[in-house]
């Protein structure tokens, strides 16, 4: 199983790497046991600046082979037996915004994905939670899309306003995906996808990662369950098929105190039911999926809902790997 969105871990990683002289191995000591228990074989982790990239490379190098850095599908398929795969995804709306030459360096380093937003307005586009949510891509955002056309990076449309989403489809000809969102029809929220958006991602050969954040699983988030998330999976399965579904399990992972200011920041006036509720919404996932050690329940649940073993394999990683191979072909 591959999780196409592991965001919160970076706060814990950076906190340890910021201690002078600390040769931190946060992934190996804290997260790999939990991930492996849940059946994960690889994760896509988020980076946003050079220090975060440096920290992950240091973690990988210090792991004594327990972690393999993956640039392509071949890197994942050929990693040593038992080694955990790590892919890097860039949240590019921070210090890299407008640095087009850095994009070429990052692509050469093997960063697989570019993400334009984290829920609010930035230099590149409007996010899903912004008050003027119909805003789309800025001129700089459009120029960034044009630069990315020539690079082997996938474009992740997560966290965007719907206007930004449709701008991206109009402006960019390559494959597009959404790393961690659910179906708006089952849980209305600007972070989830409408039927038209789900179909549009499928038409672009992309996947939609099933998101475990309780506020995006159920209209009553404190009552969210594994069954509710499986309802999202089956809703999208019936619409576009298993080849367009993946796992985008957005868990808190880091100590929740590190994430609370971020959650308040992305919903500053409380319009989306998150501000002031980060601890209760994000400390644990839905019942039956409380943390990443429970992720195997998704595969079991999909099989119980009638998916074949091959279809379950698609959702649990194969769909993501096929998309990656198209964007970033493995070298012979």
pLDDT at 52: 96
* Tokens found for residue 120: 């609010």
Domain hosting 37: range is 2-327
pLDDT at 132: 65
pLDDT tens figures, 17-47: 998 888 899 999 999 999 999 999 999 999 9
In this structure, is residue 40 part of a structural domain? Answer: yes
Give how many domains the chain has, as a whole number.
1
* Tokens found for residue 318: 């194969």
The SS3 of residue 274 is coil
In this structure, is residue 190 part of a structural domain? Answer: yes
Residue 316: give its domain's CATH number: 3.20.20.140
With a cut of 70, list the residues of the chain below it in pLDDT. 132-133, 332
pLDDT at 294: 97
Q: 168-207 burial, b if ≥16 CB within 10 A, otherwise e?
A: bbebbebbbbbbbbbbbebbebbbbbeeebbebbbebbbb
- Give the torsion sign (CA, 130, 87, 55, 294): positive
pLDDT at 330: 86
pLDDT tens figures, 165-187: 999 999 999 889 999 999 999 99
In this structure, is residue 128 part of a structural domain? Answer: yes
Q: Strand (E) positions, the chain?
A: 2-6, 42-47, 67-69, 84-91, 113-115, 154-156, 176-177, 208-210, 245-247
pLDDT at 259: 87
In this structure, is residue 332 part of a structural domain? Answer: no
In this structure, is residue 198 part of a structural domain? Answer: yes
Euclidean distance between CA atoms 131 and 157, whole angstroms: 19
In this structure, is residue 280 part of a structural domain? Answer: yes
| Residue 310 CB burial class (10 angstroms; 0-12, 13-18, ≥19) | exposed
Whats the size of the chain, residue-wise?
A: 332
Euclidean distance between CA atoms 306 and 106, whole angstroms: 41
pLDDT at 182: 98
Q: What is the pTM of this model?
A: 0.95
pLDDT at 22: 84
The DSSP code for 154 is E
């Amino acid at each position: 199983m591959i999780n196409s969105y592991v965001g919160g871990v970076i706060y814990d990683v950076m906190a340890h790497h910021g201690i002078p002289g600390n040769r931190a191995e946060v992934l190996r000591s804290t997260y790999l046991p939990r991930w492996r228990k849940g059946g994960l074989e690889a994760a896509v982790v988020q980076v946003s600046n050079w220090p975060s990239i440096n920290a992950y490379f240091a973690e990988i190098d210090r792991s004594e082979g327990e972690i393999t850095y993956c640039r392509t599908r071949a890197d994942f398929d050929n990693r040593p037996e038992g080694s955990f795969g790590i892919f890097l995804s860039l949240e590019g709306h921070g210090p890299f915004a407008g640095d087009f030459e850095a994009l070429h360096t990052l692509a050469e380093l093997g960063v697989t994905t570019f993400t334009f937003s984290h829920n609010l307005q930035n230099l590149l586009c409007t996010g899903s939670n912004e008050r003027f949510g119909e805003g789309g891509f800025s001129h700089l955002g459009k120029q960034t899309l044009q630069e990315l056309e020539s690079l082997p990076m996938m474009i992740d449309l997560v966290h965007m306003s719907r206007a930004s989403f449709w701008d991206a489809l109009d402006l960019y000809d390559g494959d597009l995906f959404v790393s961690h969102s659910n179906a708006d029809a089952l849980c209305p929220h600007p972070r989830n996808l409408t039927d038209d958006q789900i179909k549009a991602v499928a038409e672009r050969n992309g996947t939609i990662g099933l998101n475990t954040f309780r506020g995006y699983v159920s209209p009553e988030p404190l009552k969210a369950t594994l069954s509710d998330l499986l309802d999202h999976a089956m809703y999208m399965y019936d619409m576009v098929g298993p080849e367009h579904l993946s796992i985008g399990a957005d868990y808190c992972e880091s100590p929740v105190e590190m994430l609370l200011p971020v959650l308040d920041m992305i919903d500053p006036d409380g319009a989306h039911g998150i501000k002031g509720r980060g601890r209760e919404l994000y400390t644990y996932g839905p019942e039956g999926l409380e943390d990443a050690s429970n992720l195997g329940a998704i595969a079991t649940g999909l099989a119980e809902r009638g998916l074949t073993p091959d279809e379950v394999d698609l959702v649990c990683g194969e769909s993501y790997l096929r998309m990656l191979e198209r964007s970033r072909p493995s070298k012979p």
